Structure 1
Amino acid sequence: MSKSILMYENGGPEKMQLHDVEVGAPGPGQVKVRHTAIGLNFIDVYTRSGLYATPLPNAVGREAAGIIVEVGPKVRGFKKGDRVAYCGVLGAYCQERLMGVDQLVHVPKGVSDEQAAAIMLKGMTTEYLVDHTAKAWLKKGDTVLFHAAAGGVGLLFGQWAKARGYKVIGTVSSPEKAALAKKNGYKWVIDYSKENVVEQVMKITKGKKVPVVFDGVGKDTWAASLDCLQPRGLLVSFGNASGTVPPQSVGILNAKGSLYLTRPSLGAYTATRADLEASAKSLFKMVKSGKVKIAIDQHYPLAEAAQSHIDLESRKTTGQTVLVP
């Protein structure tokens, strides 16, 4: 038997409970993976709450790393004992599970299981944000704005953007988080609990504003994000940590300066096997190079998944967090 966090109805963290489950043997094209580390992401909160509708019951969680312990028929490129990782596949909050090999990537030497589990989703999100989504808007030396700089994606983004030659302004909620962001590539940090974000961006950029804003917060930062953009600038709205942005008139983009808006997703950027492998390869290369350093700031036993959600939602966590099966 394997342990799994299951949820039979949407709601608060208490809806997630530890259960015994029978995993079974892998079928054609499948392997059985024994998790060694499971990543915690804000999208897990959306799944649990019902903001992102998913079939019930489910095990929540969308990224993990582990070892292949059993191989089904017609499997190529993977064998028993291989270290593997994945993201975007619902049901990661468990000890063991069956996986199609088309959903897995190999974890290379020089990257630990915990690092892989913590950064597959956040790291590949960072990769597409910096290297693809906004590439046409940016050149080396440009300044961009990123909200929630001390969060999981935020700490990776600061390092990745700096490595690509961009200067980044980050927003945070405390002096402690400001110090953390500064250590992770941010040239300027705005404490929005004490400072006006738009006014500070205007000051930093000498009134020019920024060509791109990366906003994973949503409702609370929407208006400020628009007001920080240059004419014909791009708002990359990639998350809803503070809640979903209310319906807007498209005319606001015209009124604010012929702005562009995109709502990207990792799934769209890794939709093909080639895209998935290329993104993971780029991510692992950055980690192995040392240009992006991964610190696991919090560990929770799998049985304490509910507490991890409480801490995540109350913004008590920083950086990367893993659940330990």
Structure 2
Amino acid sequence: MTTTIRFHQYGSPEVLQVEDDNVGMPGPGQVRLRHEAVGVNFIDTAFRQGVMPVPLPSVPGVEGAGIVEAIGPDVTDVKVGDRMAYFLAPGSYAQVRLVDAAALLKVPDDLSSEQTVTVLTKGLTAWAGLNGFHQLKAGEKVLVQGASSSVGTMISRWAKAKGATVIGTVGSQSKRAALEGTIDHVLLSGDADLAAQIRSIAPEGVDVVYEFVGKATFAASAAAVRDGGTIVTIGAASGAPDIDRAGLAARGVRIVGGPMAQHVQGAVAQATGEVFDAYRKGVFGTLDVARYPLVEAARAHEDIAARRKSGAIILVP
């Protein structure tokens, strides 16, 4: 028997139930993977709440890393004992699971499973932000709304390393202190004159905004972006924003968003290689990681909802 976290109805973190499962042998094209670490991502909460509906009952989570226990028919490029990881393959909150071999990628020899899930999905989202949603150029001015979030921190520091001037906003003085010195400017997102502060730094407006907060900051984002610039909507921690699409369109401002997979597709090897390389070189700095036992997945989701955690969260089976 193995432990699986499952929800049978949409709702608050309490709907996440700890269940015992029998995981059988893998079918054609599948492997059985014993997790060493499971990544927790904001999208997991959207599935649980029904914001992004999934068939019920459902196992949350899209990211994990571990050791292959068994392979099914037609699997030729993976063998028992391999250390493998995946991203965007639903059903990761489990000690052991079946997963399509096509979704797997090799865990680098110099990285642990925990390190891999700390940076894989979030790093690929950052990569898509800098190479897909918007192709960042050295010298551009960048605004990151929610720069203390996991992906926000990665985008901020990676954009800085690529030669951009980076303005990040955060929700508290403690988060501000943690980011200062790592990017060019750190502002408080709750300040009433936030847009004016940004414009004082970038009088002509910023070239691109990475928006992780949503409703609470979008007005400042719209005011701060230059005519002809881009707003990338990656998250909405404070709720869906009110967007004057006609007004922004009249200024030539692009609003882009959607799944990062569309920008990684066909470039997975390149993207993952660049994410792991940036991590090795310290581009992302020291990432805060909060570890929870798998059986405490509901508590992890509670802490996300209460914004008690700003770094990466992983579940340890």
**TM-score normalised by length of structure 1:** 0.93
How far apart in 2 are the matches of 1:25 and 1:280? 29
Superposition RMSD on alpha carbons, in Å?
Answer: 1.6
Instruction: Write the mapping of 1:211-250 to structure 2, written as runs, cut at 5 A.
Output: 211-246=207-242, 248=243, 250=245
What is the letter of the counterpart of residue 168 of structure 1?
Answer: V
- Counterpart of 2:249 in structure 1 is 254
Structure 1 residues 119-138: Cα deviation after superposition (integer angstroms, max 9, x where no partner): 22111000110123211xx4
What is the letter of the counterpart of residue 194 of structure 2?
Answer: V
Structure 1 position 193, deviation (Å): 3.0
Instruction: Write the mapping of 1:90-239 to structure 2, written as runs, cut at 5 A.
Output: 90-135=90-135, 138-182=136-180, 185-194=182-191, 196-205=193-202, 207-239=203-235
Number of residue pairs matched? 317
How far apart in 1 are the matches of 2:305 and 2:240? 15
SS in 1 for 2:252: coil
Structure 1 residues 77-100: Cα deviation after superposition (integer angstroms, max 9, x where no partner): 211111111111111111110111
State whether structure 2 residue 278 is matched by structure 1 residue 282.
no
How far apart in 2 are the matches of 1:100 and 1:90? 11
How far apart in 2 are the matches of 1:278 and 1:308? 31
Whether the aligned pair in 1 keeps the contact of 2:232 and 2:257 (CA below 8 Å) is: yes
How many percent identity over aligned positions?
A: 36
Whether the aligned pair in 2 keeps the contact of 1:111 and 1:288 (CA below 8 Å) is: no
State whether structure 2 residue 304 is matched by structure 1 residue 312.
yes
Whether the aligned pair in 1 keeps the contact of 2:128 and 2:264 (CA below 8 Å) is: no
Q: 1:294 to 1:266 in 2, by over 3 A?
A: farther
SS in 1 for 2:273: helix
SS in 2 for 1:159: helix
What is the letter of the counterpart of residue 207 of structure 2?
Answer: P
How far apart in 1 are the matches of 2:162 and 2:196? 27
Whether the aligned pair in 2 keeps the contact of 1:39 and 1:119 (CA below 8 Å) is: no
How far apart in 2 are the matches of 1:69 and 1:196? 56
SS in 2 for 1:285: helix
- Counterpart of 1:29 in structure 2 is 29
Q: Which structure 1 residue ranges, 5 or more long, are not aligned?
A: none
Q: 1:106 to 1:296 in 2, by over 3 A?
A: farther
**TM-score normalised by length of structure 2:** 0.95
Structure 1 residues 240-272: Cα deviation after superposition (integer angstroms, max 9, x where no partner): 2222234x45312135x221111131221233x
SS in 2 for 1:214: strand
